[in-house]
Amino acid sequence: MSSSQFSSTPTSLVDNLLAGNRRALARTITLVENDGAEAHDALAALYRRTGQAHIVGVTGSPGTGKSTLVNALAKAYRQRGYTVGIVAVDPTSPFTGGALLGDRVRMRDLSGDPGIFIRSMATRGSLGGLAQATADVILALDAAGFQRILVETVGVGQAEVDIASTAHSTVVVEAPGMGDEVQAIKAGVLEIADILAVNKADREGADKTVTALHMVLGSGGPSLRQVQHHGRLMEAGLPAQSRDESWTPPIIKTVALRDQGVAELLEAIEQHRDYLQTSGELQRREEDRARTALIHILQAAVLRRLQENVPAQQLQQLVADVASRELDPYSVAEHLLPAVLSAS
Ligand SMILES: Nc1nc2c(ncn2[C@@H]2O[C@H](COP(=O)(O)OP(=O)(O)O)[C@@H](O)[C@H]2O)c(=O)[nH]1
Ligand SMILES: [Mg+2]
């Protein structure tokens, strides 16, 4: 199949993608990564056909077993007849187009199954940033008919919280033996957990980790929750307005390497999905997702117009003037805005 097949109008690309053509899906994702206007046309045309997939974020510290768990979950979903899209996002990874070890194992295990589509993403490209590129890839997978979309992100900073805002259900993965602290508390990602997986339950200390997590979740302080762990008082500054009050995140022990606890994890995700639908919470999250998407797209559009409409040299001069305190950035921004917003 030659690439020229899709070089005509985006319409054929969109039609092919909607018909389940994997090459069209891959091509659309490449357009997204290159951040071309063509991608926007395609995504705009696809948007109305999305909203069917359940999007599951899987986050946690490096090495907790996220890739292995996502792999096992994908297989479990396939056994139940669901199609699965997998997006592995690693903001720290310098690789381009390649794959990390965990992802390579996964691809070897799952490749060849037409009911699975896997894509790894790193930082490169994309004016809208990784979070928006990820959201766009999820959109394409959703439009292509994948029923469950598993998004693996590394819990290292703000990025994974951003990406979690595009998920319906967020699984935070914890593992014993990674130091005294419960990593999720340390990283501040506990507040985004709908489900907690204590992976590597075959290892010593798993029950202690479960107990520590129960204490944090059970203590119920509205703005500050504390856990006593290994004799140390740990503070987890959870926002006063937690993600939602009427769902208590279940804590599930898993051994991803041996598929243990994976069925239970899948059940918990499906229960959370049912909860979202019956409680009205789904609609609230969809609005959150829509708001986030709109803001990301607007930010990217402003940056693109800035690049297109303001000569790089002029911008560089303004930057130098701001740096030397000859100009202030507030006035420069105001001054640039009309040029940025003028049609290109
Ligand atoms: N003992 C044990 N090791 C595991 C388990 N799950 C994953 N691992 C191993 O932990 C390492 C990191 O796994 P990976 O899935 O790449 O973690 P990620 O960085 O969170 O994606 C690999 O060597 C896995 O084989 C488990 O349940 N038990
Ligand atoms: Mg991984």
At residue 340, the pLDDT reads: 87
- What mean pLDDT is predicted for residues 197-220? 87
At residue 109, the pLDDT reads: 72
At residue 338, the pLDDT reads: 92
At residue 187, the pLDDT reads: 61
Any ligand 1 atom below 6 A from CB of 256 = yes
Atom of ligand 1 nearest to the CA of 71: 15
Mean pLDDT across the chain: 81
At residue 173, the pLDDT reads: 93
At residue 234, the pLDDT reads: 37
CA distance 158 to 167: 15
Least confident piece of the model among 41-55, 71-85, 145-159, 191-205? 145-159
Q: Considering only residues 340 and 82, tell me which one the structure prediction assigns the higher pLDDT.
A: 82
If one counts every other C-beta atom within 10 angstroms of the C-beta of residue 75, the result is: 17
DSSP-assigned states of every residue in 32-64: HHHT-HHHHHHHHHHHTT---SEEEEEEESTTS
Any ligand 1 atom below 6 A from CB of 199 = yes
Q: Where are the domains of the chain?
A: 1-49, 50-279
- What mean pLDDT is predicted for residues 36-54? 90
Pocket probe for ligand 1: among 257, 258, 259, 262, the residue whose CB has the most ligand atoms within 8 Å is 257
Least confident piece of the model among 1-10, 24-33, 335-344? 1-10
Is the predicted pLDDT of residue 110 greater than 90, yes or no? no
CA distance 175 to 203: 9
At residue 11, the pLDDT reads: 75
At residue 16, the pLDDT reads: 95
Query: Distance, CA 256 to ligand 2 centroid (Å)?
Result: 12
At residue 2, the pLDDT reads: 44
Any ligand 1 atom below 6 A from CB of 304 = no
Q: Considering only residues 253 and 35, tell me which one the structure prediction assigns the higher pLDDT.
A: 253
Domain 50-279 is of which CATH architecture? 3-Layer(aba) Sandwich (3.40)
Contacts of 231 by beta carbon, 8 Å cutoff, 6+ apart: none
Query: Distance, CA 58 to ligand 2 centroid (Å)?
Result: 10
Atom of ligand 1 nearest to the CA of 258: 27
pLDDT level of residue 241 (50, 70, 90 thresholds): very low
Q: In what order do the strands lie in the sheet with 116-121?
A: 116-121, 84-89, 148-154, 54-60, 169-174, 195-198, 251-253
At residue 195, the pLDDT reads: 96
At residue 5, the pLDDT reads: 47
Any ligand 1 atom below 6 A from CB of 64 = yes
Is the predicted pLDDT of residue 237 greater than 50, yes or no? no
- What mean pLDDT is predicted for residues 62-87? 94
At residue 1, the pLDDT reads: 45
At residue 235, the pLDDT reads: 38
DSSP annotation of 292 reads H
Write out the residues surrounding ion ligand 2, Cβ under 5 A: 66-67, 102
Atom of ligand 1 nearest to the CA of 61: 20
Q: Considering only residues 215 and 272, tell me which one the structure prediction assigns the higher pLDDT.
A: 272
Any ligand 1 atom below 6 A from CB of 67 = yes
At residue 105, the pLDDT reads: 64
- What mean pLDDT is predicted for residues 92-116? 65
Q: Are strands 232-236 and 225-229 parallel, antiparallel or unpaired?
A: antiparallel
Any ligand 1 atom below 6 A from CB of 205 = no
- Write down the pTM of the prediction: 0.83
At residue 106, the pLDDT reads: 64
Atom of ligand 1 nearest to the CA of 254: 27
% of the chain exceeding 70 in pLDDT: 75
Q: Considering only residues 341 and 311, tell me which one the structure prediction assigns the higher pLDDT.
A: 311
Distances (CA, A) of 41 to 253, 296, 320, 339: 43, 16, 36, 24
pLDDT digits (tens, 9 = 90+) for 153-204: 876 555 555 666 678 999 999 999 766 667 666 666 778 899 999 999 999 9
At residue 280, the pLDDT reads: 93
